[in-house]
Amino acid sequence: MSNERKLMHIVMFPWLAFGHMIPFLNLSKLIARKGHRISFISTPRNIDRLPPPPPALSHLLNYVKIPLPGHDVVPDFPINAEATSDVPYDKVVYLKLAYDALQQPLTQFLRQTSPDWIFFDFASYWLPSVASELGIPSAYFSIFTASVLGFSGSVQVLKGDDSEKQPRKTLEDYTVKPEWVPFETSVCFKIYEITKIADSVITSPENTVSDIFRMGSSIQGCDIVAVRSCWEFEPEWLKLLEQDLYRKPVIPVGQLPTVEEEEEAADESKNTVWRGYKEWLDKQGKGSVVYVAFGSEAKPSQSELTEIALGLEQSGLPFFWALKLKRGDWDTETIGLPEGFVERTKDRGVICTSWAPQLKILSHDSVGGFLTHSGWSSVVESIQFQRPLIMLTFLADQGLNARLLEEKKIGYPIPRDESDGSFTRDSVADSLRMVILQEEGKIYRDKVKEMNGIFCDGGRQDFYVENLLAFLQSYSRN
């Protein structure tokens, strides 16, 4: 049997966002542990910010740096920006243009190395045709859940083919269950969520390509779709994708929880920072601390920041807040905490505006809940350490994730105005206390423990990786 298992060379090419790069990297490590060779491609600064390959995998997991083009190619692109976390939301369009300009050097790399497969992200919609010309099978690897893909629709819907028959003609059409979903679900956007992202996801600035067109072209051109999901969590959505919407192989790869062992760091400065935070966490009561983090991309408005801060204060709970006040040097929108907030809460709160070791914090016994944007990597990490979710969405797929989590009683959304998404300090404080302390919130505390066995069981995750590899090896022999 062992002679039949071909060892493969697989190229990974994620979009330039850490919420995408980290799942790609986690899958890369799991595949490399099976003896296969991985070339993980990104830009120099992003690779320098990723954890180094574990020593045991260093001969199999190879980082490949391809620089972004200069201002002669994308004149308006911010200097030294290589990830979505480096730029304000309205500048991400230039990052996509710079990413598109990686087509030529990536093609050259593929031609020189002739890998067995390439796994790519939604943004590189041009890659399937490149891979096909070179005779390389391609997999669109979706870090979005099966429910997000299912809600988004078929290739025809995503690309706007035959626009006269398009089922979605207004933003309100995104706030209801799609006609092609045959089962009951609450997964849809709120009007304030889809309004905020419509200019990049649905439409796009002149001479650029929308996100849904990129996704539709990626799905249309790839050989298979790999999804960060599992049958135990989203069976009906996975079945919908493969049998009805895509009509091609759809393979769940598991939830890909991050394994921290090798990321214990060599960086002594980070260890020192963590020791200080741990001392503070050690002094707090078990399950009492709110961990607050909204990912590398989301940035609250000033009014939102004020209500979050005053809600934390009003809750009376201790908190650790990983707070991002600025997205890169080009972010000119200044926001700040309410006057006197830091002084008033200094005895029960930590505000971290630099690096925060999220896995270590969530793993600490004092943490009782996670106030989150509902980005899926943060969701998986919260479930990994059995911390119930209190949800406050901002961008991208977060609203759809939040509906799914609410539907399954894994997370509780902070009540907001249905039209503009505004919320109050009272709703923040009441939501935190309910989920972390009160009997009413016990369902969320219990459910996240139940989900831990589905999301984070090592044997189950290994099954999904083995299943994926068996398919890739079988397909490449055809």
* pLDDT tens profile 217-271: 999 999 999 999 999 999 999 999 999 999 999 999 999 998 754 444 445 556 7
Q: Mind listing the pLDDT tens digit for each residue in 236-248? A: 999 999 999 999 9
Cα four-point dihedral sign 194, 98, 102, 39: negative
- β-pairing, 367-372 vs 389-391, is parallel
d(CA 215, CA 331): 27
Q: What is the pLDDT of residue 309?
A: 95
Q: What is the pLDDT of residue 206?
A: 66
User: Could you tell me which residues are beta bridge partners of residue 371?
Assistant: 292, 390
Q: What is the pLDDT of residue 164?
A: 58
Kindly report the backbone phi and psi dihedral angles of residue 414, in degrees, each rounded to the nearest multiple of 5, phi listed first: -65, 125
CATH node for 2-257+457-476: 3.40.50.2000
Tracing tokens 């066995």 back to the chain, one arrives at 453
3-state secondary structure of 306: helix
- β-pairing, 224-227 vs 367-372, is unpaired
| Contact between 432 and 410 (Cβ < 8 Å) | no
To 10 degrees, the CA torsion angle through 217, 219, 221, 226? 150
d(CA 439, CA 381): 24
Helix (H) or strand (E) holding 290: strand 289-293
How much of the chain is helix, strand and coil, in % rounded to 5? 45, 10, 40
d(CA 297, CA 327): 8
Q: What is the pLDDT of residue 231?
A: 95
d(CA 319, CA 370): 10
Tracing tokens 């490149």 back to the chain, one arrives at 130
Q: How many CB atoms lie within 10 A of CB 217?
A: 22
pTM (2 d.p.): 0.91
Q: What is the pLDDT of residue 10?
A: 98
Q: Start-end ranges of CATH 3.40.50.2000 in the chain?
A: 2-257+457-476, 268-455
Query: Could you tell me where the DSSP H helices lie in 285-408?
Result: 302-315, 341-345, 358-363, 376-384, 398-407
| Contact between 58 and 74 (Cβ < 8 Å) | no
Q: Identify the CA nearest to 241 among candidates 157, 171, 162, 176.
A: 157
Please list the ranges in the chain whose pLDDT falls under 70.
1-5, 71-72, 162-165, 204, 206-207, 260-270, 326-332, 476-478
Please give the CATH topology (third level) of the domain spanning 268-455: Rossmann fold (3.40.50)
Tracing tokens 């969701």 back to the chain, one arrives at 379
